[in-house]
Amino acid sequence: MRSQHKNSGIILFMLLTIFIFFSAFFLQQCSLVKKAKPSIGFASNYYPAPISGEQLISHSAIKISYNSEYKQANWVCYKLDSLYAGENKRKNRFYADPYILKNAVRPDDYKNSGYDRGHLAPAGDFTWSEKAMTESFYMSNSKSCFTCTVKLG
């Protein structure tokens, strides 16, 4: 009788040890996934061909070809990945893009025009970073002909 009790104690101890080991391993893996930050970088083969007179603007998560003659983007390019999900909220405030060298479009340019400001690269795709969210509200990311989204995975 004592032998059976001793064996069941050993089995219980081994099962508990295995459970703790796998639980610790699983929690460590979850922690690593949560800490992983998306790497933002652009591959030049995703860009459209250069356009005469364009100004290429690189922000933290978005690349813009700005046309100063028409005061709008020729195209906007950014990466979209499920890792980029986050909790940063929309600010709903547009800003002039500080990187534009000449003839920058400003929020007041739309005042009483009958047009609404809109995103080419939607603000909802930049919830993973407060900086990227703010940059999505630059006027250089509004009203254009072409948007390029590179979807990964």
Domain map (residue ranges) of the chain = 1-36, 44-151
pLDDT (0 to 100) of residue 21 = 64
Helices (H), 73-136: 130-136
**5 catalytically annotated:** no
Compare 143 and 63 and report the one with higher pLDDT.
63
pLDDT (0 to 100) of residue 55 = 92
Q: Which of 94, 87, 89 is nearest to 137 (CA)?
A: 94
Contacts of 118 (CB under 8 A, 6+ apart): 142, 143
Residue 7 has pLDDT above 50, yes or no: yes
Of the residues 73, 119, 136, 138, only one is catalytic, namely 119
Compare 12 and 131 and report the one with higher pLDDT.
131
Residue 67: which H helix or E strand, with range? strand 63-67
CB 65 within 8 A of CB 44: no
CATH of 44-151, one of 1.20.140.10, 1.20.1600.10, 3.40.570.10, 3.20.20.10: 3.40.570.10
pLDDT (0 to 100) of residue 102 = 86
The pTM (predicted TM-score) of the whole model is 0.61
Compare 125 and 89 and report the one with higher pLDDT.
125
pLDDT (0 to 100) of residue 45 = 59
pLDDT (0 to 100) of residue 94 = 86
